[in-house]
Amino acid sequence: MGRPYFFLHIPKTAGTTLNNVFDKNLASESVLDLYTEDQHRAFGDVCYDRIAEYSLVRGHVFISDFDQILDGPIRFKVFTFLRDPIQRVISEYNFLKRWPKSHLYDFLNRKNVSLLEYVTSDHGMLRRRGRNNMVNSLSGTRGADLEERLELAWNHLSERFCFFGILERFDESLLMLRKEMGLDSTFYEKQNVRIAEWNVGVSREEFDILCECNRYDLLLYERAVEEFSRRVDLLGPAFLSEVQLFDKVNSRFQKLSRLVNEKVGVREESVAGAFVNPK
């Protein structure tokens, strides 16, 4: 039975940009999306043999039992991307509140939910969303408390996943993933990117509360960055030269893409809060 890749897409970790790269490399019929409620419902009716034929399964998925994914009938090759936790939660809040197609847009605006309410509220619509989301997403439901979940998440990330990337080191992450998956075309445009700075309007008091509410995500991220750096070092100077060359060529690709977008009428808005290539 085949072993598909499984992209566990944690929100606001450059997943839309990454999915655009996958779409350029993989046939659409070889990719199974799990982003909408309909897609999640349909997934339950797909037999194991059919799932094993896919090259990639991807989506915003909360996995309750990682043993079923890593050691079940289909042994998925799981990977994910992480991001600085405070930047991630602020970016997520701003995106959901300002993008009309987001599933929480009406709720956040009708209730006038503030950033602090977003990370501290126990309302059913918000529970866990702004608090240690990465640890919760990567640990499953077996952990009795956050300390145990942190260790489960770290074990999955460092020992069981085939790869993990860091958004703040996206080009290095992408080239490492290219080697893992055998991708050909990895030049990219940034997708779903807000032009405004992530921390605009965030006070010191708010920042401190965000850090306290995401303490375990910060611990996980710190470990992940250290381990990622260790893995990059093992690849040696040749890999660093490859990254530098890729950065130069991809910068030219992005400039060319902007020119093409302008020619066909796709504008990159300059107003604060706008999105570049919203998807």
Is 0.95 surpassed by the pTM of this model?
no
Q: Please compute the mean of the pLDDT values over residues 126-147 and round it to a whole number.
A: 87
Tell whether the model's pLDDT for residue 270 goes beyond 60: no
Distance in angstroms (rounded) separating the CA atoms of residues 27 and 22: 9
Distance in angstroms (rounded) separating the CA atoms of residues 258 and 41: 38
Asked which of 6-10, 220-224, 260-264 is least confident by mean pLDDT, the reply is: 260-264
- In three-state secondary structure terms, 35 is coil
Token output for 228: 């990622």
Tell whether the model's pLDDT for residue 275 goes beyond 60: no
Between CA 59 and CA 69, with CA 64 as vertex, the angle to 5 degrees is: 65
Q: What is the pLDDT of residues 92-114, one digit of tens each?
A: 999 999 999 888 999 999 999 99
Q: What SS3 string covers 49-82?
A: HHHCCCCEEEECCCCCCHHHHHCCCCCCEEEEEE
Distance in angstroms (rounded) separating the CA atoms of residues 74 and 2: 7
- Structurally, at CATH architecture level, domain 5-258 sits in 3-Layer(aba) Sandwich (3.40)
Q: What is the pLDDT of residues 62-86, one digit of tens each?
A: 998 898 899 989 999 999 999 999 9
Cβ-based burial of 14 (10 A; exposed 0-12, middle 13-18, buried ≥19): buried
Element at 34 (helix H, strand E): strand 31-34
Which among 30, 31, 35 has a CA at the least distance from the CA of 15? 35
pLDDT at 95: 93
Contact 6, 76 (CB under 8 A): yes
pLDDT band at 266; cut points 50, 70, 90:
low
CA-to-CA separations, 70 to 79, 96, 178, 194, in angstroms, rounded = 11, 31, 21, 34
Instruction: Tell me the HSE value of 112 on the side-chain side, using a 13 A CA sphere.
Output: 0
Distance in angstroms (rounded) separating the CA atoms of residues 187 and 247: 9
Top-ranked range on mean pLDDT: pick from 25-29, 41-45, 129-133, 141-145? 25-29
